[in-house]
Structure 1
Amino acid sequence: MVVVVAAGLLSVSLALYYRGNAIEYKSQRDNAKEALKLADDTISDMKVRQRDVAALDEKYTKELADAKAKLDALQQCVSSGKCGLRLNAKCPAGNTTGTASMGDAASPRLTESAQRDYFTLRERIETAGKQIAGLQQYIKEQCMK
């Protein structure tokens, strides 16, 4: 009878021991599944954001390239003489004692270095404008989510 009681106690204690292990392992499994789901969701969100950022970058890179091409075409047109830059300038008064003629009047014009500086400044303004617009769009679409 003592042997039966001892065997019963032993089997109950073993059952409780394995039950405790099973509960602990189930809890660990559930925690690991939750962590894995969270990691998968994070990776999916990052992939979507990465695609969105790549599309945004492509859009503004194209706009910047288009603006630069347009500015280069304008600069080429001015350099070739087909186009001119309009200036709001007055010609200095010439010799007032002699007779004036249209041949003496020179149209106001930028110097070569001022013309280069003008186009450099326009290019930098376009670049800065496109970069700012792209960053603002990035903030709206990615950072404010």
Structure 2
Amino acid sequence: MRLYFYAALAALIAALSFGVYYYHDAYSKADKDLSLAKETITDMQTRQRDVAALDAKYTGELADAKSKLADLQRCVAAGKCGLRVNVIKQTTATPSLDDAASARITPDAERDYFRLRAGIETITKQLTGLQQYVREQCLK
């Protein structure tokens, strides 16, 4: 009877030992998976903050450039500032035309100039921001 008791006790200890090792390995794997998930989440949050800061920086710069362009446009419209135009004199013109009033661009050309300049500012800021995003986020 004692022999059966010891055999049963040994079998119970063996079963418990197997269970402890089995669940310990499962716990270790789950713990590693959880740590990896936490690291991934932390990395994603850091990247999101970096991207938000990058977006805010270039959005601010774009707004500043548009504001400066709008100020220049108001100054030109008010007549306080002028747009410089490089004019090439033609040799076939009469001398009296060379002494005419200074060259001035048409209102349509002036609007086109400001439209193009605003487009250039927008594209430049977007491209610069995208390049920095690729360098800082995609190439990590």
TM-score range, shorter chain: 0.7 to 0.9
- Cα distance, 1:118–1:101 mapped onto 2, change above 3 Å: closer
1:71-82 equivalent positions in 2, closer than 5 A: 71-82=69-80
Q: CA RMSD in A?
A: 2.3
Considering only CA atoms, is the larger Rg found in Structure 1 or Structure 2? 1
> In structure 1, what is the Cα distance between the partners aligned to 2:12 and 2:88?
106
Give the structure-2-normalised TM-score. Answer: 0.86
Tell me which residue corresponds to 1:116: 111
Match of 1:37 among 32, 35, 38: 35
1:117-132 equivalent positions in 2, closer than 5 A: 117-132=112-127
- Unpaired segments ≥5 residues, structure 2: none
Identity value in percent? 50
> In structure 2, what is the Cα distance between the partners aligned to 1:100 and 1:52?
63
Aligned residues: 139
On the 8 A contact 1:90/1:108 being kept in 2, the answer is: no
Give the structure-1-normalised TM-score. Answer: 0.84
> In structure 2, what is the Cα distance between the partners aligned to 1:18 and 1:67?
72
> In structure 2, what is the Cα distance between the partners aligned to 1:40 and 1:56?
24
